[in-house]
């Protein structure tokens, strides 16, 4: 069964109507009680979850020691504005 809404309601609540359509509901948009358009779910529009390991080899780390803790000298230089 389709839900019928006015054009003004559709304009004000488009995101809610799109969410309902993505969940399998059909929404008819009517002007002066005459259906003008329909929001229907599209098959295959669901987003697939990402797979682990598909980005292997795409990331290049320039400095392998980027996460190492700072030395006392580096901390002092940074606090003094020399780093």
Give the domain ranges of the chain.
3-39
Could you tell me the pTM of the whole model?
Answer: 0.52
- Domain 3-39 falls under CATH 3.40.1620: yes
Given a cut of 80, whether residue 8 has pLDDT beyond it is yes
Given a cut of 90, whether residue 5 has pLDDT beyond it is yes
Q: How far is CA 20 from CA 30, 43, 66, in A?
A: 17, 14, 46
Query: What does R_g of the chain's alpha carbons equal in angstroms?
Result: 27
Arithmetic mean of pLDDT, 21-44:
91
pLDDT of residue 45: 58
Given a cut of 90, whether residue 83 has pLDDT beyond it is no
């Amino acid at each position: 069964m389709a839900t019928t809404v006015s054009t003004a309601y559709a304009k004000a609540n488009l995101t809610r109507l799109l969410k309902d359509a993505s969940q399998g509901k059909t929404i008819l948009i009517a002007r002066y009680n005459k259906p003008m358009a329909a929001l229907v779910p599209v098959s295959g529009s669901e987003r697939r979850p990402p797979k682990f390991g598909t980005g292997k080899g795409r990331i290049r780390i320039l400095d392998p020691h980027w996460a190492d803790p700072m030395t006392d000298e580096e901390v002092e230089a940074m606090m003094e504005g020399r780093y």
